[in-house]
């Protein structure tokens, strides 16, 4: 469903719900969403692999399918893993969110973790408060130390 007036106003961070450290690509997630869920495409706009590579999912001009009932103008970013991530993933997450925030003038308080939308979800394994602290740092990983895969 293409939306002419799609204007990113929020960002929601997700996890793939796979084993931490398991290699995964946007193609794997797209196949899961289409073949097993019956969707017309992958639900996320971006996917971050273990090596930090950012892959494009659903076109940014198209509404995502990643937060039930809250997808309007909401950009979905998914990290490979469940609750622990590589430094490369976190570095790319920070860069991508900051780029989206700057490009679309998205305020920091409009950056969410998926678990804020429903008590049934723990995804992405950390709180939005922790994510915001991490984003406000220019570098380093201290706020996320409990969510790092050992190097």
Task: Based on the residue annotation, tell me whether 133 is a catalytic residue of this protein.
Answer: no
Task: Based on the residue annotation, tell me whether 123 is a catalytic residue of this protein.
Answer: yes
Task: Based on the residue annotation, tell me whether 104 is a catalytic residue of this protein.
Answer: no
**Tell me: the pLDDT tens digits for 24-47?**
999 999 999 999 999 999 999 999
Task: Based on the residue annotation, tell me whether 78 is a catalytic residue of this protein.
Answer: no
Long-range CB contacts for residues 126-132, cutoff 8 Å, separation at least 24: 126/83, 131/13, 132/108
pLDDT of residue 138: 67
User: Distance between terminal CA atoms of the chain?
Assistant: 41
Catalytic residue among 14, 33, 45, 147: 14
Tell me the domains of the chain and their CATH numbers.
10-141 (3.40.80.10)
Across residues 112-121, what is the average pLDDT?
88
pLDDT of residue 61: 87
Does 2 score more than 50 pLDDT?
no
Does 97 score more than 50 pLDDT?
yes
Across residues 93-109, what is the average pLDDT?
93
Task: Based on the residue annotation, tell me whether 87 is a catalytic residue of this protein.
Answer: no
Confirm if 3 and 62 have CB atoms less than 8 A apart.
yes
Across residues 126-145, what is the average pLDDT?
78
CA dihedral in degrees (126, 131, 134, 140; nearest 10)?
A: 40
Catalytic residue among 46, 78, 123, 147: 123
pLDDT of residue 1: 45
Binned at pLDDT 50, 70 and 90, residue 5 comes out as low
Does 88 score more than 90 pLDDT?
yes
Q: Does residue 78 sit in helix, strand or coil?
A: strand
Catalytic residue among 44, 45, 78, 147: 44
Distance CA 121, CA 138 (A): 29
- Who's near 6: CB < 8 A, 6+ residues apart? 60, 61, 62, 63, 73
Distance CA 65, CA 5 (A): 17
Catalytic residue among 33, 45, 66, 114: 114
């Amino acid at each position: 469903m293409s939306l002419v007036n799609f204007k990113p106003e929020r960002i929601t961070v997700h996890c793939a719900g796979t084993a931490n450290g398991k290699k995964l690509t946007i193609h794997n997630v797209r196949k899961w969403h289409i073949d097993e869920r019956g969707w017309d495409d992958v639900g996320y706009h971006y996917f971050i692999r273990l090596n930090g590579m950012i892959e494009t999912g659903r076109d940014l001009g198209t509404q995502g399918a990643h937060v039930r009932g809250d997808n309007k103008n909401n950009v979905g970013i998914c990290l490979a893993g469940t609750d622990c991530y590589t430094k490369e993933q976190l570095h790319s997450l920070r860069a991508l969110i900051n780029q989206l925030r700057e490009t679309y003038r998205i305020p920091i308080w409009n950056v969410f973790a998926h678990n804020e939308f429903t008590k049934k979800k723990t995804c992405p394994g950390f709180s939005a408060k922790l994510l915001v602290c991490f984003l406000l740092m220019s570098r380093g990983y201290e706020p996320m130390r409990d969510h790092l895969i050992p190097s």
